[in-house]
Structures are given as C-alpha cells and as structure tokens.
A and B are shown apart, each in its own frame.
Chain A
Amino acid sequence: MNWSWPFFFDYLTNGLMLRGAWTTIWLSVVSMILGLGLGIVAALMKMYGNRAVRYLAEFYIWLFRGTPILIQLVIIYTGLPQLGIRLSVIESAILGLALNEGAYLAEIIRAGIMSVDKGQEDAARAVGMTWRERMYLVILPQATRTIIPPLGNQFNGMLKTTSLASVISMEELMRNAQMLAQIEFRVLEAYSVAAVWYLVLVSIWSAIQVRIEAHYEKPFGPAAAGALKGKKEGEQTLKKAGAA
C-alpha cells in the first residue's frame, strides 16, 4: 500500500486547495443567485407571458435542460470566440452554470407559484394590488416556502457541478486538485482531499439550509417557530394563541 497520511493532511490545508475551495464557494453562490434570477424570470414568462414570451421561456428551458452542462461550458468558452464573442474563464464558468441552473430553477419556481392557494391572488387583487405587487408581496413570498427545499437541493448540486468548470481551466477545487496531483503524483491523496472539501462544503450548506427552511416555515408551524426564534418566544406565541 502506498497511501500517505502525511501527504493527505498536508494537502488538506494546502493553499492551492484552500483557494480552490473558496473559488468553489463563490462560484456556486454567484451562479446560483444569477440562476435564481433567470429562473424567476423564465417561470413568470412561462406562466404569465403572451404566446411569444411563453415560447421563448420554454425554448430556453428546453435547450439548457436538454444538453449536458459540460457541452454548454465548452461551447461558451471555446466555441463562442469563433463567433467573435470572447469571454474570460470566470465569465464563461458563471454564465454556463447560471444559464443551466436557471433552466432547472424555472420549473421549481413555477411549481412553487402554482402551489400558492388561488384565494391569495383574489385577496391581493381585492386590496388593489397590481400584478407586480401581487407577485412581490403575496405570491412569491409564499411560493418560497415550497421552493426552498428543492432549491437547497439544487445548491447542493451546484457546489459539485462547479467541478465541471475545471475543463475550461477554472481554478476551483477540482482543477486545483488536478494541479496538486501532478506535482508529486500523489493522485489518490490529492483527489481524496478534494472530495473531503466537497463533503465539508455540502455539510455546511445542509446546516444553513435547515435554518433557512425553519425561517420560512415560521409563520406556518409551531415547531419551526420555536426552533428559530428561541424556544421560549415560540412557546409564548403559542400560549397566546391558545388562550384566545
């Protein structure tokens, strides 16, 4: 056996890996936020647009869900220059990941909006809200509750999907692990360290996700209210409600 613990532990805190992990984090967050914006726009276009707008949204979703993200990234970075569009590695990675994510999120967001009770739209109209106000103040905040769990799942996936950006030489965890592996040919140790880092990031995200879900569940369930606002306060609210 040729497994070396010293190399493993050395790589674990190696600057290259730490920088890679950091890149993976911000690349995931930025792509997710942009993807979320794209997803919301595409979902609203598909649900409320006229025929042309609807078809445009459907085409986007169909195209980016129907082709591998790997091909999308390669086309954006190495193919588009042929058409005179030159994007940097970072721009290409963010664009590819966001476009791909947006297509998936559009369907998740659409399902979330459809899950909101029809009476909410009536109530929002009845107090005189415009479409924009209904969406922003009433429908989307409630859709969020349904959207958050699958959204968290998507972000979990995003943390790992960013590794595909290594093929266009984006220096994130995977790419840096490759480089590290080639220095002393400690391939197994280097990639294991990368795997450990992904596990750490995903685990941290899971913990964050629980808190976000509790926040959005707060208006809807006593258990969640207690978990987030401190048990005492939650119980008081409940007692108050019970006393009436």
Chain B
Amino acid sequence: MEQQDLATQTERAPGARRLGEPIVVIDGVEKSFHGTPVLRNVSLTVRKREVVVICGRSGSGKSTLLRCIDQLETIDGGTIRAAGHLMGFRERHGKRVPLRDAQIARQQRDLGMVFQNFNLFPHVSVLDNVTMAPVRILKRDKAEAETEARALLQRVGLPDKENAYPRQLSGGQQQRVAIARALAMKPKVMLFDEPTSALDPEMISEVLDVMTDLSEQGMTMIVVTHEMGFARAAADRVVLMHDGQIVEEAPPEEFFQTPKSEHTRLFLSKILQH
C-alpha cells in the first residue's frame, strides 16, 4: 500500500484534543534480561490526553517499555513517573526506596493495561471480569459497579454479552472486554501492548474503533502497535524503537513523510510494502 493511500484513508479531526501537562515521564530507563540490555537510556514524555504510538521490530524493546511503565517488569535504572507516582519506588530523604508488592499494586490501579492475548479471567463471566477489580479491590458497591460495567460494555459495543464466559467470545470481543475491564478502574493512562496482533484481520477494526473513540474522549494512551492506519488517525506522536532505544519521535505526518532516522525509513518500507 502506498503512503499516499494511507494518508487519505483516515483523517484526523484537527484540534479535537488539547494536550495537558506531562502525565508519564520516562527518564533514562535501563533494563536488561539476564545481562542482555533490552532498554538503553530510554526517555519519553507523554502529556495528558496525548496518544503516543510506539512501533518497531520485534525485540526492539517496545513491549518491555510498556511493561516497565506498568511495573510488570522492574527497571534497572532511570525513573518512570506516571499518573503522579514514581513507579516502583518512593522517595525518602532524596533516596529511592523500592516499594513492596501492595504499594506497587496501588500505583498500578491508576494505569490501565491491555494485552496482546487479552488475558481475560476465563473462570468468571464477562460482567465479573469488568467488576472484579472495582468490587473486590476497591470495595465499591456491587450494584453500582455493575451499572458502570454495563455502561462500559455498551461503550465497547458488547451490551448483550455480560453473562457470557470469555471463551464464548471472538478474539475481537474478548479484547474489547479487556478494554472495558481496564477502564473500570478509571485509569489516568491506558497502555496497549499490541492489542490487535493476535486478532484475525476482520476483527482488528472493531478494536481499533473502540481505541479511537477512547482517544477522542481525551484518554491518555500509549499504544504499541503495527497498525499504521491507527497511528495516522489517532496518534499525536509516533515513536520508533530500535535495539532498546528511541530512534525517532515525531507527529504522524512527519513520521511517515519525512522520517529523520534511517531505521524509520527501513521500518516503514517493510511495513508499508503489503
């Protein structure tokens, strides 16, 4: 597909969102797995209501970066501030002290995460997937949480599926439930880790539509994806990672039309060829 086609395929409503103050600040983050560096001095700032798409080849560290933001991985160096928290640590007399499990859990409640493989809880119904965290963790009133969950399921286009079990849903439906589950915690930032990579082609758009809606309603989003159409339509900035580093960071028009990095040109030529 030609780049021109992509540009006309989806048009972004200009000025729909006004960006706010920085809400995710990643500063000099380092991460290694068994001595192999995966993230090397990564810095990135995301502002409130901003949508940032991260792309790059597999193994470039983009998923690891997302998992580090949500404390699913612990970082070896640098700092991550998100939704008002210094993720994974607290500061005492200018020193950083690692947080315990329960305290990290409290930080994680302000971030929503959507996974490539959905990871819905298979042993409970769709409704219970959405209400489990608000009711069991935040001790919210059950009836109230269920009303909100039904509204969320409506929002992701699944109003009649609340009693189904995850296995009874298609991949696209499961991913939309996963988005509703994350939104039920009223997160300040949503993280998407290749949300459409495990989906059949005909189901990709139903998930991307929900994500686009979300971005238009002002949700701050960091999205790791290969869906360049979504990047064009919804992103404020596109980031390319290569070998554990950010090598390009630009608004979509610039990213696709006039990339500065050789890596970006190579990446785009490969991903846009078919």
Contact = CB atoms under 8 A, between A and B. Distances in A.
A84 to B, nearest CB: 41
Interface stretch (A50-58, A95-103, A130-138): A130-138
Given A119-B115, A219-B167, A240-B164, A127 B137 contact: yes
A142 B123 contact: yes
Interface string A90-132: 0000000000000000000000000001011011111111110
B117 A119 contact: yes
B105 A130 contact: yes
Nearest to B134: A127
A62 interface: no
Given A137-B136, A138-B121, A145-B123, A125 B164 contact: no
Nearest to A118: B119
A130 B102 contact: yes
Interface string B142-174: 000000000000000000110111111110010
A238 interface: yes
A141 interface: yes
B112 interface: yes
Contacts of A129: 105, 133, 137
Contact of A126 (B106, B112, B132, B166): B112
B72 A126 contact: yes
A129 B72 CA distance: 12
B185 interface: yes
A83 interface: no
Chain B contact patch, size range: 35 or more
Contact of B122 (A220, A240, A244): A220
A241 B169 contact: yes
A14 interface: no
Interface string A202-244: 0000000000000000111000000000000000011011001
Contacts of A117: 119
B70 interface: yes
B49 interface: no
Contacts of B132: 127, 137
B71 A125 contact: yes
Given A125-B71, A220-B122, A130 B101 contact: yes
B222 interface: no
B46 interface: no
Contacts of A124: 121
A147 to B, nearest CB: 13
A117 B163 CA distance: 23
A178 B228 CA distance: 80
A122 B168 contact: no
Contact of A120 (B105, B106, B121, B165): B121
Contacts of A127: 108-109, 132-133, 137, 181-182, 185
A147 B132 CA distance: 23
Greatest chain B CB density within 10 A among A126, A130, A133, A244 is at A126
Contacts of B119: 117, 119-120, 122-123
Nearest to A243: B160
B234 interface: no
B171 to A, nearest CB: 12
Interface of B: 67, 70-72, 101-102, 105-109, 111-113, 115, 117, 119-125, 132-133, 136-137, 160-161, 163-170, 173, 178, 181-182, 185
Given A219-B124, A220-B167, 17 more contacts: A120-B119, A123-B121, A125-B71, A125-B72, A126-B112, A127-B132, A130-B102, A131-B102, A137-B132, A137-B136, A138-B121, A141-B123, A219-B125, A220-B123, A220-B165, A237-B168, A240-B164
10 contacts: A126-B70, A126-B115, A127-B132, A127-B182, A133-B137, A137-B132, A138-B121, A141-B124, A142-B123, A219-B165
